[in-house]
A and B are shown apart, each in its own frame.
Chain A
Amino acid sequence: MKVLIIDDEEDFRTIASSCLGLLGGAEVVEASDGEEGLKKAEKEQPDVILLDLVMPGMDGTQVLTNMRKNPATVDIPVIFVTTKGMFDGFDEMKKLGALAVITKPFDPVKLADQVKKIVEDAKAAG
């Protein structure tokens, strides 16, 4: 499984890639902002993208919107990662085509399984 992590925080990228790579055995690609994320998504064609919602410059929703405009990235599943809780409409995110939202902080041990399950469920659902 190839996972693209788009997050402006280096600490998060490190932890998340360790959890997914070291513990989950996944291949992890990192991007530190939206621009880079879009490029890498197109180039790497990951199985799933963990996309941070709040970022300087292009934020998560903009990245997703742009991805959906690009035929090369339109079908890549996206999971939002956010510190925001239940305040903000998850519906909005779903409309943009996000599969799920994972809130920070997450359980590092379960993260890989969690992501795998979401992707498999989505594939099963078609």
Chain B
Amino acid sequence: MLDANFRFNLKIVHKGAILVLVPLLFELVFLAVLTELLHRAEVEVQRQVRSKAIISQANTLSKLFYDAGVAMGGYSITKSPLFSDRYDKIVRQIPQDLAELKKLVGDNPKQQTILENLQKITVTGLKILGEAKAAIDDNRVDVAQFRARHMYKEIRSLADKLQDELRGLTEDERRIEAESPEKQNRSRTILKLFLVAGVVFNILIAFVLLWFFTRSIKNRLDVMTDNSFRLARGQALNPPVGGGDEISHLDGVFHSMADALMEAARKERAVIDNAVDVICSIDMDGKFVACNPACYENWQYSQEELLGKRFIEIIAPQDISETIKSVRAVRAEKGNMQFDNRVRRKDGTEISVSWSAYWSEKERAMFCVAHDITERKLAEEAIRASEQRIRTIINHMIVGLVIVNQDGFIESMNPAAEGIFGYKAEEIVGRHLLALFGDSKFFSEHNENDTMAFMETLFNQALNRIGEFDCIKKNGEDFPVELSLSELKTHEGERYMANVLDVSERREVERLKKEFVSTVSHELRTPLTSIRGSLTLLSVGAMGKLPDQAQKVVGIAERNTIRLIGLINDILDIEKLEAGKLDMVFDNSPMMDILERSEQSVQTFAANNGVKLEIMPSDAVVYADGDRIVQVIVNLLSNAIKFSPRDGTVTVVTENAAGFVQVRVIDRGRGIPEKFKKLLFQRFQQVEASDAKKKGGTGLGLAICKGIIEQHGGQIGVESEEGKGSTFWFRIPPARTDSTLVVTGAKDQIVS
């Protein structure tokens, strides 16, 4: 019924339309034919009625015509208006009836011809009758009679003619009328046949279409249903169904969906197969029912070995009971749960594993992901050990540690700090650091202004450096500490760590040392004064001339006594320098004056050694303690003289350098080896161990020089080339324009 290609492109909506429209179309055609047939039957009926009307009308006309002749005859005889009126009436009636007849005849050509003849005849007849009437009316009876005779004949023939024509018309109608019932009968038969055929045809079409749809839709739906079952079972799908309609589209989509699902499943499989963690499922009996290949890498068991094995068999024995508890908890939880344990690998080694497990009630199995956390555990262990180590160090260190928050409130304290302050950590935690300080006598740890001001002082004096403070113990005892504050970044925020060292003992030692030095100074100097005085008096002959031998040994005694005195003076000087207590009086002093005084001091010594002094004049003025600078220059000159060859020259140059006044003492002696240059300014350092004996000196001179120059804010150094000589230099600040005498301490006039 439909072209095959055409059928493939039909949509279901089109097919539905066909199913409805085709029978509907046939019904419409059927209805049209039926209407036409009915119409025809109706026409037949009307024709019959008209035929009857025409026949009746023709008869009426024929009779009227005769009646007109009769009336005229009567009129001519009687001249009675009775006949005249009758005649007039008929004359008026005839055209009306003719018009009526014409209407009835319609467009039947044969009848129309007849009607035309009729018309002519009646016109002629009526004319003749009219003439007759006029003659009668004129009382021309003769004419009238003549006319009447003549007319009668004519009328007679006309009437016959009319009669013939009317008969023809009537006969024609009768013929048509006679034809009609036969026609009607045929129409009815056709109608009946058509009705039956139409109904049968309609039913047929409906069935054909039904078959067609059954075949094209239902079969394919069956295929799709089958496909959904196949998909669920994981079987291959049926080939795609044909047709370009919604079902084939749906089937196409179903195939794509199935492909996507397969792809997803394949990917999931790949993920599981390539996972680093072990992914497995364990049934109600605790046996492995599925496992990914990672089990070999992780536990050294192959998948085959693991399947069917009891889960508990691979757990380290010491963790079994805990693991069983955990598994029970997972089942009870009916959700995701995590637990850690140790797995015993096939080779017997143990690894730490973190399990993420889920119990599926539907599948009656536990799905697990097992992650190897051995390294993490080791790292945690290492961190714990490291923390323990640090804690041990902190707990056993001598330095007191106090951790405070940003506002200075104490958070913790180590045992050393507990010992230093006499508080137990728990007693002091939460209080302000101020409570541990002597300042707490005057300020309150509960007053925010006080604590803030205190912290500011503390930051200024001890943040990242060592500051000295007075602290107070729990029992109220004051003691000095050295304290250094450092920032401590913790995960809880910024903290400060105070390193506290109780320096009471050191202070005591310092005090004793000072006392000792003072004592030595007094107790040694007193006898040395007498010894030196006695020896000098002897050696200068104040007690009379000594024998040569005696003079010689007295000289030895005197020299060594002087050396001893020098040593004691140097030691005292250096102690004071290091304590920063060598008192100095700074003033603007002309360098020339200082140089001259220095020269005088060493003149004799230089002459004795055969060394020439060359002091370059200078108009520089320095801001310095003149006596101390003389001490430095004398020291440098003495060294230069000592190490100069006989007949050598020692030169002193004063110049400006980098905003300082620089003094250089230049000798042409043996020079100083590179490695000694750094040591030179340290205590008791001499280039050769024997120098102390050969050349005299204590090895303290340069250290004292360095101390003095540094206390002036200057620098000291040496440049030397072995074999060519050395240049010792120092730099001190130039005169201050605004300076007045600044006394930093007392000055002794040293006579030695």
Contact = CB atoms under 8 A, between A and B. Distances in A.
Interface of A: 9, 11-12, 14-16, 18-19, 22-23, 54, 83-92, 100-111, 114
A97 to B, nearest CB: 15
Contacts of B540: 23, 108-109
A104 B522 CA distance: 9
A106 B522 contact: no
Given A23-B537, A87-B521, A100-B749, 7 more contacts: A19-B537, A83-B521, A89-B746, A101-B748, A102-B749, A104-B525, A109-B540
Nearest to A79: B749
A90 B533 contact: no
Interface of B: 514, 518, 521-523, 525-530, 532-534, 536-537, 540, 542-543, 565, 569, 572, 576, 581-583, 743, 745-752
B526 A108 contact: no
Nearest to B581: A87
Contacts of B750: 103
A105 B748 contact: no
A77 B683 CA distance: 41
B572 A85 contact: yes
26 contacts: A12-B530, A12-B533, A14-B530, A15-B529, A15-B530, A15-B534, A16-B533, A18-B537, A18-B542, A23-B537, A83-B523, A83-B525, A86-B576, A86-B745, A87-B514, A87-B576, A90-B746, A90-B747, A92-B746, A101-B749, A104-B526, A104-B528, A105-B752, A106-B752, A109-B540, A111-B751
Contacts of B581: 87
A108 B530 contact: no
Main secondary structure of the interface of B (DSSP, over half): helix
Contacts of A91: 743, 746
B582 A86 contact: yes
Given A9-B526, A90-B746, A91-B746, A105 B532 contact: yes
A107 B748 contact: no
B522 A18 contact: no
Contacts of A11: 527, 530
A16 B572 CA distance: 24
B746 A88 contact: yes
Nearest to A9: B526
A111 B751 CA distance: 8
A80 to B, nearest CB: 10
- Most chain-B CB neighbours within 10 Å: which of A9, A18, A90, A105? A105
A101 B745 CA distance: 15
Nearest to A11: B530
Contacts of A102: 749, 751
A12 B287 CA distance: 110
> Which 7 pairs show the lowest CB-CB distances between chains A and B?
A15-B533, A90-B746, A105-B529, A108-B536, A83-B525, A11-B530, A104-B529
B115 to A, nearest CB: 177
B748 A18 contact: no
Given A84-B522, A85-B521, A108 B751 contact: no
B751 A12 contact: no
B542 A23 contact: yes
Contacts of B533: 12, 15-16, 18-19, 105-106, 108
A14 B530 CA distance: 9
Contacts of B521: 83-85, 87
A19 B530 CA distance: 11
B537 A107 contact: no
A111 B537 CA distance: 12
Nearest to A115: B751
Nearest to A94: B746
A110 B752 CA distance: 9
Nearest to B524: A83
A124 B348 CA distance: 106
A84 B750 CA distance: 11
A107 B530 contact: no
Contacts of B543: 22
A89 to B, nearest CB: 5
Given A18-B537, A108-B533, A83 B522 contact: yes
A100 B529 CA distance: 18
B511 to A, nearest CB: 13
Nearest to B569: A85
Contacts of A18: 533, 537, 542
B442 to A, nearest CB: 30
B750 to A, nearest CB: 6
A9 B523 CA distance: 13
Contacts of A83: 521-523, 525-526, 529
B749 A87 contact: no
Nearest to B749: A100
Contacts of A19: 533, 536-537, 542
A16 B631 CA distance: 26
B749 A22 contact: no
A2 B746 CA distance: 29
A90 B525 CA distance: 18
Given A84-B518, A103-B752, A108 B532 contact: yes
Contacts of B536: 19, 107-109
A114 B569 CA distance: 20
A104 B532 CA distance: 10
A110 B530 CA distance: 15
A102 B523 CA distance: 16
A59 B576 CA distance: 25
A14 B529 CA distance: 11
B537 A12 contact: no
